[in-house]
Amino acid sequence: MGPFIDPFLDNGFMLRALLAGVLVSIACSVVGTFVVLRGLAFIGDALAHGVLPGIAAALLIGLPGIVGAAAGALAMIGGVTLITSRSRLSSDTAIGLLFVSMLALGVVIVSRSNTFTGDLVTILFGQVLGTSVGSLVIQVIATAVVVVVAGICARPFLLLSFDPEQADVAGFPSRRYHAIMLLLVALTVVVSFQTVGTLLVFGMLLAPASTGALLAHRVSTMMLIACVVGALSCYVGLLLSYWLDLAGGASMVLVATCVFFVVFVSVSWREARRAARRPVVGSTAR
Amino acid sequence: MTDAVVASGLSIGYPGDVVVDGIDVRVRMATSLALVGTNGSGKSTLLRTIVGLLRPVSGSLRVLGATPGASPRRVAYLAQSRASSFILPLRAIDVVRMARFPHLGLWRRASAEDEALVAQAMVTMGVEDLAEAPVRSLSGGQRQRVYLAQVLAHRADLILLDEPNAGLDAGGYERYLQAFAGELHRGAALVTATHDIREAIEYDQVLLLARRVIALGRGDEVLTPDRLMETFGILIRDRHAEHAGRFTVAEPTRGAPQVIDIGDPDSD
Whole-number Å distance between alpha carbons of A74 and A154:
23
Instruction: Say yes or no to pLDDT of B17 above 70.
Output: yes
Going by pLDDT thresholds of 50, 70 and 90, the confidence category of residue B259 is: low
User: A248, A238 in Cβ contact below 8 A?
Assistant: yes
Check residues A115 and A133 and name the one with the higher pLDDT: A133
Residue A278 confidence (pLDDT) = 65
Name every chain A residue with its beta carbon within 8 A of the beta carbon of B94: 158, 218-219
Shared domain check, B242 and B142: no
Residue A97 confidence (pLDDT) = 81
Instruction: Say yes or no to pLDDT of A254 above 50.
Output: yes
Shared domain check, B96 and B168: yes
List B residues 96-115 in contact with A (Cβ-Cβ < 8 A): 98, 101-102, 104-107
User: B67, B49 in Cβ contact below 8 A?
Assistant: no
Name every chain B residue with its beta carbon within 8 A of the beta carbon of A37: 85, 87-88
Going by pLDDT thresholds of 50, 70 and 90, the confidence category of residue B46 is: very high
- Chain A contact probe: residue of B54, B85, B93 with most A CBs at under 10 A: B85
Shared domain check, B268 and B213: no
Which chain A residue shows the shortest CA-CA distance from B85? A37
Angle between helices A154-162 and A12-37 in degrees, nearest 10: 50
Any B CB within 8 A of A159 CB:
yes
CATH architecture group of domain A2-273:
Orthogonal Bundle (1.10)
The domain containing residue B74 runs over which residues?
5-232
Residue A61 confidence (pLDDT) = 83
Name every chain B residue with its beta carbon within 8 A of the beta carbon of A218: 89-91, 94
Q: Choose the closest CB to A163 out of B83, B91, B138.
A: B83
Whole-number Å distance between alpha carbons of A55 and B136:
42
* CATH number of domain containing B214: 3.40.50.300
Residue B49 confidence (pLDDT) = 96
Instruction: Say yes or no to pLDDT of A6 above 80.
Output: yes
Shared domain check, B199 and B262: no
Burial degree of B78 (CB within 10 A; 0-12, 13-18, 19+): buried
Shared domain check, B102 and B48: yes
Check residues B5 and A134 and name the one with the higher pLDDT: B5
Residue ranges in chain A assigned as alpha helix (H): 2-10, 12-37, 41-60, 65-86, 92-112, 119-125, 133-152, 154-162, 164-169, 174-192, 197-215, 219-244, 248-277
Residue A26 confidence (pLDDT) = 95
How many Å lie between the alpha carbon of A135 and the closest alpha carbon of chain B? 32
A221 with B89: Cβ contact below 8 A: yes
Residue A115 confidence (pLDDT) = 63
Shared domain check, B197 and B169: yes
Q: What SS3 class is residue B264?
A: coil
Any A CB within 8 A of B92 CB:
no
Residue B76 confidence (pLDDT) = 96
Check residues A123 and B165 and name the one with the higher pLDDT: B165
B53 with A165: Cβ contact below 8 A: yes
Residue B255 confidence (pLDDT) = 43
Instruction: Say yes or no to pLDDT of A112 above 50.
Output: yes
Domain ranges of chain A: 2-273
B88 with A36: Cβ contact below 8 A: no
Shared domain check, B246 and B144: no
Shared domain check, B242 and B171: no
Name every chain A residue with its beta carbon within 8 A of the beta carbon of B130: 285-286
B73 with A171: Cβ contact below 8 A: yes
What value does the mean pLDDT take over residues B245-261?
A: 48
Instruction: Say yes or no to pLDDT of A189 above 50.
Output: yes
Q: Choose the closest CB to A162 out of B52, B82, B138.
A: B82
Per-residue pLDDT reduced to its tens digit, B196-223: 887 888 899 999 988 888 889 888 788 8
pLDDT over 70, % of chain A: 92
Any B CB within 8 A of A263 CB:
no
Mean pLDDT of chain B: 85
Shared domain check, B251 and B155: no
How many Å lie between the alpha carbon of A182 and the closest alpha carbon of chain B? 18
Burial degree of A230 (CB within 10 A; 0-12, 13-18, 19+): buried
Contacts 24+ apart (CB under 8 A), B234-240: B234/B258, B234/B259, B234/B260, B235/B259, B235/B260, B236/B260, B236/B261, B236/B262, B237/B261, B237/B262, B238/B262, B238/B263, B239/B263, B239/B264, B239/B265, B240/B264, B240/B265
User: B28, B4 in Cβ contact below 8 A?
Assistant: yes
How many Å lie between the alpha carbon of A115 and the closest alpha carbon of chain B? 47
Lowest-confidence segment of A2-11, A235-244, B8-17, B122-131 by average pLDDT? A2-11
Shared domain check, B121 and B238: no
What value does the mean pLDDT take over residues B240-255?
A: 46
What value does the mean pLDDT take over residues B45-64?
A: 94
Mean pLDDT of chain A: 85
Going by pLDDT thresholds of 50, 70 and 90, the confidence category of residue B260 is: low
Any A CB within 8 A of B79 CB:
yes
Check residues A209 and A249 and name the one with the higher pLDDT: A209
Residue A126 confidence (pLDDT) = 77
Burial degree of B16 (CB within 10 A; 0-12, 13-18, 19+): exposed
Whole-number Å distance between alpha carbons of A186 and A45:
11
Instruction: Say yes or no to pLDDT of B267 above 90.
Output: no
Report the domain count for chain B: 2
Shared domain check, B90 and B158: yes
Lowest-confidence segment of A23-27, A130-134, B103-107 by average pLDDT? A130-134
Burial track A78-116 (b if 16+ CB lie within 10 A, e otherwise): ebbeebeeeeeeebeebbeebbeebbebbbebbeeeeee
Residue A87 confidence (pLDDT) = 60
pLDDT over 90, % of chain A: 41
Residues with Cβ within 8 Å of residue A46, at least 6 apart in sequence: A76, A77, A79, A80, A95, A98, A99
What value does the mean pLDDT take over residues A138-149?
A: 94
Shared domain check, B83 and B35: yes
Any A CB within 8 A of B89 CB:
yes
Going by pLDDT thresholds of 50, 70 and 90, the confidence category of residue B254 is: very low
Which chain A residue shows the shortest CA-CA distance from B95? A162
Going by pLDDT thresholds of 50, 70 and 90, the confidence category of residue A88 is: low
Instruction: Say yes or no to pLDDT of A286 above 70.
Output: no
pTM for this model (two decimals): 0.86
